[in-house]
Amino acid sequence: MALYALGDLHLSFQADKPMDAFGKVWKHHERKIEKYVNRIVRPEDTLVLTGDHSWGRKLSECREDLDFIERLPGRKILLRGNHDMFWDAKKTRRLNEEYDGRLFFLQNNFAAYQDYALVGTKGYTFEGPFYLDFQGRILGWDEEREEQAK
């Protein structure tokens, strides 16, 4: 049982936002995803999809994208990306009920993988007015950045 991660699929089977607008390498990118995931991932493996699954803004605009993901091999665990407008934290439980046994939506909950817990929560960049060392101790203070941090 292997663990794989893949992100930024930006599928648009229902949304009118083809990725080839970003260059010809993106033309039919969903076919490339399908080809290589099917080549690498086995049914007994776990595939963590790290966000930006669909360009659809509502769940009704993402159904075909989620169906595509569901058809990929392995157990699928989805994290929410900044472009996944169809999903907010309040909808996680409902999505997990609807896609039970097919897709697992990971946000403010956890999924087990062997002896590990995979956890999901939205992260933020904190540009605080202080400087920390690798152990989290405050080393210094930048008064100019204090107002921005507030």
Span 66-114, pLDDT tens digits: 999 999 999 999 999 888 999 988 899 999 999 999 999 999 899 999 9
Distance, in Å, from the CA atom of 106 to the CA atom of 58, rounded to the nearest integer, reads 18
What local confidence, expressed as pLDDT, does residue 140 receive? 77
| Statement: residue 149 has pLDDT above 80 | no
CA angle, residues 57, 72, 26, in degrees to nearest 5: 60
Contact yes or no for 85/52 (Cβ under 8 A): no
Q: How many residues does the chain have?
A: 150
Span 111-143, pLDDT tens digits: 999 999 998 765 555 556 667 776 777 777 777
In eight-state DSSP terms, residue 40 is: H
What local confidence, expressed as pLDDT, does residue 82 receive? 87
What local confidence, expressed as pLDDT, does residue 24 receive? 87
Span 19-63, pLDDT tens digits: 777 788 888 899 999 999 999 999 999 999 999 999 999 999 999
Q: What are the chain's domains?
A: 3-122 (3.60.21.10)
